[in-house]
Amino acid sequence: MLERVSGMETEISPLEAAKRNPLMLGLFLPIQSGAWSPSTAPRETSWTFDYNARCTVMAERLGFDLVFGLAQWMGKGGYGGEMKFREMATDPLLVTAGLAALTKRILLVSTVHILYGWHPLHLAKFGATISEMSGGRWGLNMVTGYKKSEFEMFGLEQIEHDHRYVMADEFVTMMERLWSEDENLSIDGGFWKMKDGFVAPKPAGGRCILVNASSSGAGLAYAVRHSDLIFVTSPAGANLDRACETLPPHNARIKAAAREIGRDIRTLINPHVICRDTEAEAWAQYNAILEHQDPVAAQNFYATFAGGDQASWKAATREQWTIGGNVHIVGTPEQVVDGFRRLKAAGCDGVQVNFYDFLPDLKFFGERVLPLMREAGLRLDAPLAAAA
């Protein structure tokens, strides 16, 4: 990606270009059926590749910095209920590879459960390949997994929480060395072994973008060592007021830990945005999602995140999980921008939004919210696509 400075063009990485925005802007792709809301309220949101490609192309045209896909492994029926919430689920690694050919600027972030049978050499090769396909725009959101049922799908025993991050550190360190070193690599590790491993071509810039979403002590210790972007969660649940009270020390602690080891990271949070012309219309949509909830799917979805040994999401209520997202921003375009401003003031460097009815909501967001974000100084005056 080229940037013009004082009449001269200089090379700038896609990640650095995204970080130039005062508030980074991402889109949480709906690659699972039902996306984030176990509700049957009317919408056309779809898990299909075609629908997600349309969302991504529109997001890039609007100037979004990144799109992101989560990964999960569900049995028949997904989270259950009449809607079989999230039974249909595509793989984000393959989805982002497909999106590489359809886009030019936007970052493409894929989640991978690295402890479910992967070897670092596999993912180093696949990541370097998608990096080449996308011009250095591919990122890996490393997750260790926490659901017993998912480990069992792969014939594995569930691994103790902190030990998962000890394993992740070895895995990602091996992967980073495969990306950066130009000789055959042999490692006799505690968990993975490799003789004469080698990856070429190397990722653009020598390294793929690394992302993590952690809240625990062990998870954050890993994240600040390796990640460029950290997806944070509100310690106080999805209520915006409470989130903005608790996020400042949380963000400050993460960034201080990164600075102590000489690293500079960015934190992003995931708001579910419901925006309409009037506040009453926005809250009517919020209530419609709740009124049409699939009670079985909603309860199962909530129970999954309320239980387990992960530290994130614990404060969110069942109602908040039915809406989806980590923080709820509901209201007019002006109120949504004010919510973003408050999250930035709370230490978040970016927002990764999701919607209920993705394409029409994204279109409305582009027409009504983004211009106000630029006026508020949260986004650059023009989309960075002009620099591509």
The single residue listed with the structure tokens 């936007």 is 106
Cβ distance 77 to 51 under 8 Å? no
User: Residue 54: which CATH number?
Assistant: 3.20.20.30
Residue 5 lies in a domain: no
The reply to whether 273 falls in a domain is: yes
Is residue 4 domain-resident?
A: no
| The predicted structure's pLDDT at residue 9 | 56
Confirm whether 6 is domain-assigned.
no
Helices marked H in the chain — which ranges?
Answer: 14-19, 49-62, 92-100, 120-134, 148-153, 161-180, 217-226, 240-260, 279-291, 295-306, 318-323, 333-345, 358-364, 370-375
What's residue 343's pLDDT?
98
Residue 133 has what pLDDT?
A: 97
Asked if the structure places residue 136 within a domain, the reply is yes
How many C-beta neighbours within 10 Å does residue 21 have? 19
**351 within 8 A of 244, measured Cβ to Cβ:** no
Q: Is 173 within a domain?
A: yes
Domain that holds residue 45: 12-376+382-386
pLDDT of the residue at 2:
46
**Number of helical (H) and strand (E) elements in the chain, helices listed first:** 14, 14
Residue 38: inside a domain:
yes
CA 263 to chain CA centroid, nearest Å: 20
- Total-model pTM: 0.93
For 313, what's the count of Cα atoms within 13 Å in the CB-facing half-sphere?
22
Q: Are 227 and 210 in contact (CB under 8 A)?
A: yes
Structural domain count of the chain: 1
Q: Give the per-residue pLDDT at 310.
A: 54
User: Taking the chain (388 residues) in consecutive chunks of 10 residues, what is each chunk's mean pLDDT?
Assistant: 51 92 98 97 98 98 97 96 98 98 98 97 98 97 93 96 96 98 97 98 94 88 95 94 96 95 96 98 98 97 74 78 96 98 98 98 98 97 48
**CA-based max dimension of the chain:** 63
